[in-house]
Amino acid sequence: MSIGSEQRKTRAAQKFPPGIAYIDGRFRPISEARISVLDWGLLRSDATYDVVHVWQRRFFRLDAHLDRFLASVAKLRLSLPFDRATLAETLKECVRRSGLDDAYVEMICTRGFSPDFSRDPRAAVNRFIAFAIPFGWIADAEQRRRGLHLAIAEVRRIPPQSVDPRVKNYHWLDLVTGLFEAYDRGAENVLLCDLEGNVTEGAGFNLFAVSAGRVTTPSSGVLEGITRATVLELCAELGVPAETGTVSAEALTAADEVFVTSTAGGIMPVARIDGAAIGDGAPGRLTGKLTELYWAKHDDPAWTTPVD
């Protein structure tokens, strides 16, 4: 049939990044890692995941990512096929086999499905997947140099009473809807507010405001990012007052400096929100200092784990 052959041609032409996945008990090239269309992870976003990065062949804060992932797996009443040590070894083996020096390493546990496709989630056989692909950035090199342009979306973040954002999840339609809103308004990425109008987080990152020397990041309605926790620790090391709290949209746009944080890029400056300059419109001094310290920690044995 012509539709089928067209689809096969499109599939054959689909390019993949280099990388290695572990799925159904085997390591495979990333292009060959596939899940069943019946998996509730796909059909219902019934899954949790975590992402840790490898920089110059060292994992950054692997233990913190494993703690968060294992807590999320437990909260969703999922189970993994092996223990923490084997999980860590599986991630390392993905990176080793990929040959990548700098990698984005994702671990996933999906609900899976049961042989009779029961609607009872307790009957499902959970699935574990991991993969290592090249390191990727939320902000490209130019955006990191001059600061990101963000928009605050009309669409609101899913309330934490409905889906717990501390369990890292694929309920991303609010964030993706917001991204398109931001692109339509000429911005490069998006921030979402909660139902009260306070800012929460963006599409894959937490947010920080610096006002009169004090650093604040939203306390609730957000994923408790490992980079966010790292920034709070770096502030303590530098003797800079930092706290979690409420950040209104007005306070954010009036801040002296704004930056976002993610495993996918670390600490990244924000230059404009809804078209208005933050501070003098250039990346802030404290943002720069924290960014430097953050990357310097990437060969500190206290926070890193060698791949080999």
Q: Which of 112, 225, 269, 284 binds ligand PLP (CB under 6 A)?
A: 225
Alpha helix (H) residue ranges in 211-299: 226-238, 249-253, 285-296
Q: Which of 217, 227, 287, 304 binds ligand PLP (CB under 6 A)?
A: 227
Alpha helix (H) residue ranges in the chain: 2-13, 40-44, 62-75, 84-98, 141-146, 173-184, 226-238, 249-253, 285-296
Q: How far is the CB of 185 from ligand PLP (least distance, A)?
A: 20
Among candidate residues 136, 132, 180, the one with its CA nearest the CA of residue 154: 180
Alpha carbon separation from 159 to 193, 221, 222 (Å, rounded): 10, 7, 10
Q: Under the criterion CB under 6 A, does residue 157 sit at the interface with ligand PLP?
A: no
Q: How far is the CB of 227 from ligand PLP (least distance, A)?
A: 3
Q: Under the criterion CB under 6 A, does residue 205 sit at the interface with ligand PLP?
A: yes
Q: Which of 110, 143, 198, 262 binds ligand PLP (CB under 6 A)?
A: 262
Q: Under the criterion CB under 6 A, does residue 263 sit at the interface with ligand PLP?
A: yes
Q: Under the criterion CB under 6 A, does residue 51 sit at the interface with ligand PLP?
A: yes
Q: Under the criterion CB under 6 A, does residue 200 sit at the interface with ligand PLP?
A: no
Give the residue at shortest CB distance from ligand PLP: 225
Considering only residues 86-105, where is the footprint of ligand PLP by CB under 6 A? none
Residue 211 and residue 88: Cα distance in Å, rounded?
Answer: 39
Q: Under the criterion CB under 6 A, does residue 178 sit at the interface with ligand PLP?
A: no
Q: Is the dihedral of CA 153, 159, 162, 167 positive or negative?
A: positive
Angle (CA) 210-224-137 rounded to 5° is 75
Residues that bind ligand PLP (CB under 6 A): 51, 201, 204-206, 223, 225-228, 261-263
